[in-house]
Amino acid sequence: MHDTPTADRPPAARGTGDEEAWRIRRTEADFDRLAETESIFALGNGWVGWRGNLDEGAPYGMPGSYLNGFHGRRELTYPEDGYAFPQLSDTVISAPNAALIRLWVDGEPLDVRTGTLRVHERVLDLRAGVVERHTEWVSPAGHGVRVRSTRLVSLPRRPVAAVRWTVEPLDGTVEVRVCADLLANERVPQRSDDPRAASVISDPLTAEYRHSDGHDGVLVHRTGRSGQRVAVAVAHDVRAPEGFAAGVDCSPDRLRLTLTGTLRAGEAVRLTKFAAYECAPVDATPPQELARLVVAEAGAARAEGFEALLAAQRAALDDAWRTADVQLDGDDELQQAIRFAVFHLIQAGRPDGDRTIPAKGLTGNGYDGHVLWDTEGYVLPVLTYLAPRVARSALRWRHAHLPEARERAAELRLAGATFPWRTIGGRECSGYWPAGTAGLHVNADIADAVLRYVAATGDEEFHAETGLELLVETARLWHGFGHWSDAGTFHLHGVTGPDEYSALVDDNVFTNLMARRNLRGAVDAAQRHPEAAARLGVDPAEVAGWRAAADALFVPYDRKRGVHQQAAGFTEQPEWDFADISDDDYPLLLHFPYLELYRRQVVKQADLVLAMQRCPGEFTADEKARNFAYYEARTVRDSSLSASPQAVLAAEVGHLDLAYDLFAESVLQDLADLGDKTGDGLHLASLAGAWLALVQGFGGLRDDRGVLSFDPRLPAAIDRLAFHLRWHGHRLRVTLTRDEARYELPDGGPEAGIELWHHGEPLRVTGAGPVTRPMPEVPDPGPEPPSPPGRRPARRSTGER
């Protein structure tokens, strides 16, 4: 122990203005929404993730201490099994939890549900990258204490997380017992019978090794069936008054440091806990060796000190925010919300670990912690512009799992590689389901992410190696899967597009256009890197086959109605009867059989609209307007993935108020818990989609042809919009007002420059100074198209907030 610390000052009073746009604040204990708050206050660094649970661990909605890729394994069962049905599924499990610090006051445990809670405030600081807590609690017996803590998961130091925790008496003298725990096999409740919720494996960890030394210690465990080992070490820095006693208890599933003593007025106990996490396959690193690694990391973090960790965290975020910050003038709530969204994208991935980003990041166990197409479809397009090295790392993770994708393709009797619908470690983790097993578009989404990354960075080394092989193997899938008709057109039959209320359809437009982009991207890559392509067995005949298939891919169009069909025959199916639907019937998948959904014109999430966002050059302006109106009336947005692409297209066709309201729905998905699912973890795709709604929707950014272009237009609710993005090593700043668009390279000298287009006009922007152009008037698009009854997003654009 060390010298007695002075009591820290309470947090500063609530700030105003732009200060609060950088903070997410909760000032009361809402016991009905604990899990939601835990997700919102989650911290991570792409490797370690701590949910925002209270320091004392209870009450909780769902505890969670995660490592990227760390999982358990369970069997899948089917009433009727079938060929190639996956038999095993992986599920995220909690690593031992090092964030716990429990407190007893005169024998009574600190529990915000008991006694009197005078103050209870928690703040997520988006610039500092910490969660701060200030609680003033009076026990049922009348003994009061003030507890403060600051928690971080280090962005610069991959294995490290830490918490500084302080307790002091409110008045008088109190006896306290402080227990700092490292706890394995923490109980995780089954939160819901919703089929989208996670499966829970009870007691997933088996103890292998434990050791304590002074105030510090380490636990090592292994999983049962997934063959992984995890080690967590804790190192403590204790500052307490004279007379405090300390002891350490180390059991297979718990390491506990206990401090006991008397606190008088003006005294405090300050405990700083430094934790380090690592996991590895059981056959890669012995338990003691893994333990030594994390003990060294935790000790090094303590030697560096908590203040140094805070400073490094702020420096890392300062650097990230230089590119990532979005300034939105006109709506303070949405300004805060878009920064919250971007913050969670920043902390979701790493540039140095060849790891990808699950649908929930490391904020919860929703979707069993699986990686879905959300990552390449929504998250990586944003990170390509804001943190391209993180996008590169995630794509390298896909490349590392090409062997499993080839194996799955062979099992399905397909060519090339078939990436899984849901996965943690590269193998298919989704039980057979038409909307998943047939969702082959995930392969084109991966290819699209490769092409966007290469276009934005010019990274030819990546293109010639990782990118080329991903493009080649996915092109082989489409070429082998497709069918040539007698009319000479190329078709993709029996697939499921993004809309999961349609399954096993023919010629889904999104899938076909993305496959076309995939095939053409593979042709270009093979021609640019012929030697590398030859090593993959690519020959001129195969390249010619890809090109011919891409050129002949069929795109169904209903001439009678003047719209593209989401899939062949879609517009001829019976309409959904919305007259008998109430608000309580949404989401439809929980109240109607899929057989009923599959055969009618009702759309769960943007599908044809998403095709127009991803492949804008494939549609004319008139086609976009007609398509958008037709599908807006049939899209119920039972998925958080839907609002952002609808916002982008609504802005492009001129319905700016609707676009703004859809943007608000996307960016508030978690802060307002619009789908009542935030407790399972954040919706990273929706948060990324909010950035796309702003930058592609109101900024008019397009790059699908490898050219950076902007067609900006602002809704009435936004006075000014400013954002940055990285393009070929340059940081481009775009500032939009009612009157003008301003483009500049804030870091470049006169010789630095990029080419871009503004409303069809070519421009060259250099470091010599900004280039400005007027904002043209937006043509009147006519009346706003109707949404399904009860499904229009809440209106913000007219001041109804």
What pLDDT, on a 0 to 100 scale, did the predictor assign at position 195?
53
- The pLDDT-based confidence of 194 (bands split at 50, 70, 90) is low
Three-class SS of 257-282: EEEEEEECCCCCEEEEEEEEEEEEEC
Whether pLDDT at 85 is above 70: yes
Q: Among all chains, which residue has been given the structure tokens 């790392």? A: 393
What pLDDT, on a 0 to 100 scale, did the predictor assign at position 193?
56
Active-site choice (500, 632, 652, 665): 500
Q: How much is the average pLDDT of 20-45? A: 94
The structure tokens listed for 16 are 């105003």
- The pLDDT-based confidence of 798 (bands split at 50, 70, 90) is low
Task: Report d(CA 440, CA 511) in Å as an integer.
Answer: 8
Q: How much is the average pLDDT of 748-752? A: 81
Task: Report d(CA 248, CA 646) in Å as an integer.
Answer: 56
- The pLDDT-based confidence of 446 (bands split at 50, 70, 90) is very high
Please, is 669 exposed, middle or buried when counting C-beta atoms within 10 Å of its C-beta (0-12, 13-18, 19+)? buried
Q: Among all chains, which residue has been given the structure tokens 């038409």? A: 434
Neighbour tally for 461: CB within 10 Å: 8
Task: Report d(CA 757, CA 159) in Å as an integer.
Answer: 43
Q: How much is the average pLDDT of 308-320? A: 98
What pLDDT, on a 0 to 100 scale, did the predictor assign at position 421?
96
Q: Determine the angle formed by the axes of helices 332-346 and 306-324, rounding to 10 degrees.
A: 110
Whether pLDDT at 799 is above 60: no
273 assigned binding-site residue: no
Q: Choose the weakest-confidence range: 29-38, 310-319, 496-505, 678-687.
A: 29-38
What pLDDT, on a 0 to 100 scale, did the predictor assign at position 197?
58
Strand-pair category, 740-744 with 490-491: unpaired
Whether pLDDT at 10 is above 80: no
The structure tokens listed for 238 are 């204790």
What pLDDT, on a 0 to 100 scale, did the predictor assign at position 17?
58
β-partners of residue 757 are: 709, 762
Q: What is the mean pLDDT of the chain?
A: 94
More confident residue, 343 or 9: 343
User: What's the CA dihedral at 347, 353, 359, 364 to 10 degrees?
Assistant: -60
More confident residue, 683 or 200: 683
Identify whether 500 is a catalytic site residue.
Answer: yes
Q: Give phi and psi for 618, each to the nearest 5.
A: -85, -5
User: What's the CA dihedral at 333, 334, 335, 336 to 10 degrees?
Assistant: 60
Q: What is the three-class DSSP state of 633?
A: coil
Q: How much is the average pLDDT of 653-664? A: 98
Read off the pLDDT of residues 600-619 as tens digits, 9 standing for 90 and up: 999 999 999 999 999 999 99
Q: How much is the average pLDDT of 125-151? A: 98
Report the share of the chain in percent with pLDDT over 90: 91
696 assigned binding-site residue: no
- Contacts (Cβ under 8 Å, ≥6 apart) of 709: 700, 701, 702, 703, 756, 757, 758
Whether pLDDT at 11 is above 80: no
Task: Report d(CA 99, CA 293) in Å as an integer.
Answer: 19
347 assigned binding-site residue: no
E strands, 507-665, where?
Answer: 557-558, 563-564
Q: What is the three-class DSSP state of 13?
A: coil
Q: How much is the average pLDDT of 679-683? A: 97
Per-position DSSP letters for 205-259, written without gaps between them: EEEEEEEEETTEEEEEEEESSS-EEEEEEEEEEEE--TT-EEEEEEETTEEEEEE
Homologous superfamily assigned to 23-61+94-294: Glycoside hydrolase, family 65, N-terminal domain (2.70.98.40)
- The pLDDT-based confidence of 752 (bands split at 50, 70, 90) is confident
What pLDDT, on a 0 to 100 scale, did the predictor assign at position 680?
96
What pLDDT, on a 0 to 100 scale, did the predictor assign at position 437?
87
> What is the 8-class DSSP label of residue 32?
G
Whether pLDDT at 191 is above 80: no
Ordered alpha helix ranges (H), 668-741 = 684-692
Read off the pLDDT of residues 539-580 as tens digits, 9 standing for 90 and up: 999 999 999 999 999 999 999 999 999 999 999 999 999 998
374 assigned binding-site residue: yes
- Name the residue among 230, 199, 202 with its Cα closest to residue 88: 199
Q: What is the H or E stretch that residue 763 is in?
A: strand 761-766
Q: Choose the weakest-confidence range: 446-455, 521-530, 579-588, 721-730.
A: 579-588
Tell me if 60 sits within 8 A of 50, measured CB to CB.
no
Report the share of the chain in percent with pLDDT over 70: 96
Whether pLDDT at 9 is above 70: no
Per-position DSSP letters for 62-118, written without gaps between them: ---EEETT-EEEEE---SS--TT---EEEEE-PPPEEEEEEEEETTEE--TTSSEEE
